Amino acid sequence: MEPSDEELMARYQAGDTEAFQELYRRYAPRLQGLMRRSLFRQEEAADLVQQTFLHLHRARNDFRTGALLRPWLFTIALNLKRKHFRTVARRPASELGEIDPAGNDPGPGSPLERSEEQAAVREALAKLPAGTREVIELHWFEGLPFAEVAQTVGASLSAVKVRAHRGYKALRELLADRNQAGGAE
């Protein structure tokens, strides 16, 4: 049986570098996807993932025993992403990369249809307020339960659920409007 994230972190705090490598193996791809959905350049996303793990290394002794690692790590990543956008003073929402947000096969249809659907979802997601978008990215794309999303974004569980509900509703409306506009052409 694989050790939990928290067990790996405890081992890393005790000096086990292999535990850090395992945490990196588990979370780097997920964090890369999280960053890539908002950033235009793959290099920027990779750089922020590296910075996330550098922060984890530097703050390893601040991690509290009994706390969950995943929300702590995602909080670091989201804070770095926010700082990046403040620094460059832009949000290239319309220039998101060509990836499947969940890392899964999007289903039936030609590759062109799937890429158009993905682009439509990314475009609609980019129109949501940042706080709502983060909740949806963490819950829907990263699969975090609402309690961990709340911990990650620093909001109450009920606030996160409200943001998610409003965000999913807005996404449905944006996508429906897009489909109606596409059918009218």
H or E element, residue 40: none
166 C-beta neighbours (distance < 10 Å), count: 15
pLDDT in tens, the chain (185 residues): 999 999 999 999 999 999 999 999 999 999 998 888 777 678 888 999 999 999 999 999 999 888 999 999 999 999 998 888 777 654 444 443 444 444 444 344 444 455 677 777 878 888 889 889 989 988 888 888 999 999 988 899 999 999 999 998 998 888 888 777 765 54
For 4, counting Cβ atoms within 10 Å of its Cβ (0-12 exposed, 13-18 middle, 19+ buried), the class is exposed
Instruction: Quote the tokens at residue 51.
Output: 């910075």
Domains and CATH numbers, the chain: 1-92 (1.10.1740.10), 109-185 (1.10.10.10)
What's the Cα-to-Cα distance from 4 to each of 1, 13, 105, 171, rounded to whole Å? Answer: 9, 14, 28, 34
Q: How far apart are CA 151 and CA 160, in angstroms?
A: 10
Rounded distance between C-alpha atoms, residue 163 and residue 141, angstroms: 15
Reported pTM: 0.64
CA gap 58, 37 in Å, rounded: 26
Alpha-carbon distance of 19 to 7, in angstroms, equals: 9
Residue 13 pLDDT: 94
What value does the CA radius of gyration of the chain take, rounded to a whole number of Å?
18
DSSP state of 94: G
Q: Which tokens is 145 given?
A: 């339960």
